Amino acid sequence: RNVKRWRDAQMALRWTAAGMLEAGKGFRRLKAYKQLPDLKAALDKHRAPETDAQVDPVAQAA
C-alpha cells in the first residue's frame, strides 16, 4: 500500500527496512557464498599493481 505522509526520517527508515526484509524472502543464497572473502582478496591482490596511488574516499566523493 502507498505511504501518503512521511512523519519523520525514522518512519522512512522503518518502511525501507520493512521493504528490504520482504524482498529478502525472495533472494536465494549463492552456492559458494563462503568463498566470497577469498574471491575479494584475490581480486584486490590482482588490482593492487594497477593502482599507483591510493585515493582518499572522501576526496573521491567530492
Q: Distance between CA 30 and CA 32 in Å, rounded?
A: 6
Mean pLDDT of the chain: 80
| 9 vs 60: which has the higher pLDDT | 9
pTM above 0.75, yes or no: no
Residue 12 makes CB contacts below 8 A (sequence gap 6+) with: 6
Q: Cα separations (Å) of 26 from 16, 21, 30?
A: 16, 10, 13
Q: What is the arithmetic mean of pLDDT over 44-48?
A: 83
Q: Where are the domains positioned within the chain?
A: 1-49
Q: What is the arithmetic mean of pLDDT over 19-37?
A: 89
pLDDT of res. 12:
85
pLDDT band at 33 (very low <50, low <70, confident <90, very high): confident
Q: How far is residue 35 CA from its own chain's centroid?
A: 18
**pLDDT at residue 21 tops 90:** yes
